Structure 1
Amino acid sequence: MKNQKKQIKALVVLTCAVLFGAVASQAQALDRPIKIGVLSDMSGPYADQAGLGSVEAAKMAIEDAGGKIDGQPIELVSADHQHKTDVATSIVRHWIDVDGVDVIADMPNSGVALAIQALVKEKNKIALFATAATTELTGKQCSPNGIQWVYDAYSNAAGLAKALVAKGDKSWYFLTVDYALGISLQNEAVKAITALGGTVVGSVRHPLNNPDFSSFLLQAQASNAKVIALANAGSDTINSVKQAGEFGLTKDHVIVAPLVYISDIHSMGLPMAHGLTYIEGFYWDLNDDTRAWSKRFFERRKAMPTMTHAGVYSEVAHYLKAVKAAGTADSQAVLAKMREMPVDDFFSRGGTIRKDGRMAHDMLLVQVKSPEESKYPWDYYKVLATLPADQAFRPLSESECPLVKQ
């Protein structure tokens, strides 16, 4: 009798567990639209590198996913963060709390990105960073809810510094934009320079979206450094390179910019930009797959995509594949699938998402062609080398991310 009662009790417990599991599974299933938010710079210094091009890339990823998953529509919202953390967090809070947005993409401006990283962790949503470069996103301020997709200060600044110091350019001076991006770019470059026996003779910081670099460039010239490094991006890089040429600094100094986009080269023109060498995350003319996607993008935007635009497509497309595979938009289930599946598309072949939130993929060392070398529109780069993922990004063994040690 006792054994029979035990068997009945066990059966009841098992039945309840099965029913509870079914209810829980049903609650997690897709029963509402999947919502994606592109938070970008629509009108400021990074508008050409990200901005409306990032929105268009996200639209392309949604279209290529069929516009629906399990019958639920995929919806897109976008906004301009204006390079203000309070504006950005207000937008994202409304997106999450009122509009039901599941994932935030792009986010040029490292200060904004760090603020959103903290917010999406609090709200248990997902952030996919295509444009922010600070290594803090995968370092001390890493999050299980954030993934840095395209590049970072280590890949672009340290990689470039190593290449130049190795060939004898050992004395450096930095013009650095005065917020998290510039500080991170300079710090990573300085570590690489000093580790290889180079020296940093000085630095100066300038405001974001600065029109006049004359005083900063004169200080750099007076330093007698061999290399003048522009630790900035977007219109700041364009203006500082142009003004360096006007001051004649290119005759006696090596001008480098760790973070350059193809839109910058298009704006400067090959006569001004030729010879610039830097690290790239994507080049439209690399192979048949990159050309095919880029020509589709060009038809819509009348400009070739930057590495940010390609990265936004890749991260949104990978997110949607993970939602479909998981059968739910639940953040943790989707993140688990994103980490489980390789990132395999025109942007990355066999990319992996590491414990620290870095999507590791191959990077390119490129040099800008001269006008004579360029044979057709947007034929701007010579690819000097491909940097394997395990060399392009900071090794996990050196990571300060708490998640790596768990």
Structure 2
Amino acid sequence: MLAGLTAQSALAEVPGSLVKIGVLTDLSGPFADQVGQGSVAAANLAAEDFAKEAGGLKVEILSADHQNKPDIGVSIARRWIDEDGVAAVVDLPNSGVALGVAEALREKHRTALASSSASSDLTGKACAPTTVQWVTDTWSQGHSTAHALAAQGAKSWFFLTVDYALGKTLERDATEALTAEGGEVRGAARHPLGTPDLSAMLLQAQSSGAKVLALADTGADAINAIKQAGEFGISGQMQLAALFLQISDIQTLGLAAAQGLLLTEAFYWDQNAATRDWSRRFAARMGGRMPTMDQAGVYSATLAYLRAVRTVRSIDGETVVKEMKRAPIDDPLFGRVAIRPDGRAVHDMYLYRVKKPSQSRGPWDDYELVGTIPAAEAFRPANEGGCTLAP
């Protein structure tokens, strides 16, 4: 019994009063604009803001490129914990990487802050008492967009899906919402990550007779699909539904190509005074680039984690996450955030339409608000995801 108590006491300490957080991200691949160096900058901003209230704790931010390979991501996370004393890993774009790393951190009793992973399985069948999923997920993205388009009568869909965990769960969750609205799926085509030529799949979508081309992908793949759909004239025949685009993608496309797209986001830099103030600080470090919702999520998840560590004086994953779940968080970027027993951080979501070039007042003025999805409706009910931690 005494040995057990001693081990638990050692586990609960913050060694040297130093909290190390690893930003595990995509620095060179298709998601680099959504996350990448911007996520590292956001984590550093969180560490600097926390320093004003740290209570004697110091923070060190590490970063690495997982190359969108789960085995590399897991290897980095294990090395960080075993050799560098990292207490938490944040960002985790690419759902396959996130699922593998979250499981490794569960085994090591450290915290996974999956702020940029969208697989709803992270708070479903793969949930863990050491995982928090912050920004959005495939259920939220798929249901919000499907509901909005079905309300407009666009109830026949064709899916263009990236063939890994993100795409598969986006397609699954959007299909569930679409059929619940009385809609139907006319077909689907899957492509590997980073496929340059989508022409055969787009022609298949065009011949399906569906009203909606649903893009169950993101980053460079979604940008490529939208550009090629325009070249084939498909964007004039079918409504394009971007199930997981972010403002960095709209900037790459340009308003002329992206205008009219409907998309669901958790954060927009020009949403209110608080988001504008923080985004300008971010932009000053990123050559004028405004943050994506994923990058904003890195900041908020990191700051909430550090505050919980300060309270419990522990880097034990279960202990810190339990503290994060204890009470709602008043977050400057996402508003009121409550972390449920399944690890899902719940907050309002927003449906935006991309502006026409003539509507934009200047650089990065890309969105017009279509509607707000209240937190209670924006995410899958906790008891429907298959999480053993849920009530």
- TM-score tier, shorter chain, comes to over 0.9
Unaligned runs of at least 5 residues, structure 2 = none
Give the structure 2 partner of residue 30 of structure 1: 14
SS state at 1:351 partner: strand
CA–CA distance in structure 2, aligned partners of residues 359 and 23 of structure 1: 31
Does the 8 A contact of 2:266 with 2:334 survive in 1?
no
Does the 8 A contact of 1:31 with 1:72 survive in 2?
no
Letter of the 1:235 counterpart:
A
CA RMSD of aligned residues (A): 1.9
Give the structure 1 partner of residue 297 of structure 2: 311
Q: Please report how far the alpha carbon of residue 376 of structure 1 lies from its aligned counterpart in structure 2 after TM superposition.
A: 1.8
**What is the identity percentage for the equivalent residue pairs of Structure 1 and Structure 2?**
49
Matched, 1:330 2:319: no
Q: Please report how far the alpha carbon of residue 167 of structure 1 lies from its aligned counterpart in structure 2 after TM superposition.
A: 1.5
Per-residue CA distance 1:209-251 (angstroms, 9 max, x = gap): 1211111111111111110111000000111001101111112
Letter of the 1:376 counterpart:
G
Which of these residues, 161, 166, 169, is aligned with residue 181 of structure 1?
A: 166
CA–CA distance in structure 2, aligned partners of residues 256 and 210 of structure 1: 19
| Count of matched residue pairs | 388
CA–CA distance in structure 2, aligned partners of residues 89 and 162 of structure 1: 36
Matched, 1:340 2:334: no
SS state at 2:341 partner: coil
Letter of the 1:30 counterpart:
V
Segment drifting more, 270-279 vs 207-216: 207-216
Matched, 1:367 2:367: no
Give the structure 2 partner of residue 103 of structure 1: 88
Unaligned runs of at least 5 residues, structure 1 = 1-16
Letter of the 1:243 counterpart:
Q
Closer, same or farther in 2 for the Cα pair 1:328/1:167, shift >3 Å?
same
Rg larger for:
1
Matched, 1:193 2:175: no
Give the structure 2 partner of residue 395 of structure 1: 381
Q: Please report how far the alpha carbon of residue 331 of structure 1 lies from its aligned counterpart in structure 2 after TM superposition.
A: 2.5
CA–CA distance in structure 1, aligned partners of residues 142 and 326 of structure 2: 29
Closer, same or farther in 2 for the Cα pair 1:52/1:23, shift >3 Å?
closer
CA–CA distance in structure 1, aligned partners of residues 199 and 96 of structure 2: 26
After TM superposition, list the pairs within 5 Å mapping 1:125-274 onto structure 2.
125-274=110-259
SS state at 1:404 partner: coil
Q: Please report how far the alpha carbon of residue 158 of structure 1 lies from its aligned counterpart in structure 2 after TM superposition.
A: 1.4
Does the 8 A contact of 1:67 with 1:74 survive in 2?
no
SS state at 1:114 partner: helix
Segment drifting more, 337-346 vs 99-108: 337-346
Closer, same or farther in 2 for the Cα pair 1:284/1:201, shift >3 Å?
same
SS state at 1:278 partner: strand
Where do 4+ consecutive residues of structure 1 move more than 4 Å? 20-27
SS state at 1:65 partner: helix
Q: Please report how far the alpha carbon of residue 341 of structure 1 lies from its aligned counterpart in structure 2 after TM superposition.
A: 3.3
Segment drifting more, 289-298 vs 328-337: 328-337
Does the 8 A contact of 1:326 with 1:333 survive in 2?
yes
Matched, 1:349 2:341: no
Letter of the 2:227 counterpart:
K
Which of these residues, 75, 79, 83, is aligned with residue 90 of structure 1?
A: 75
Q: Please report how far the alpha carbon of residue 29 of structure 1 lies from its aligned counterpart in structure 2 after TM superposition.
A: 4.2
Does the 8 A contact of 1:128 with 1:146 survive in 2?
yes
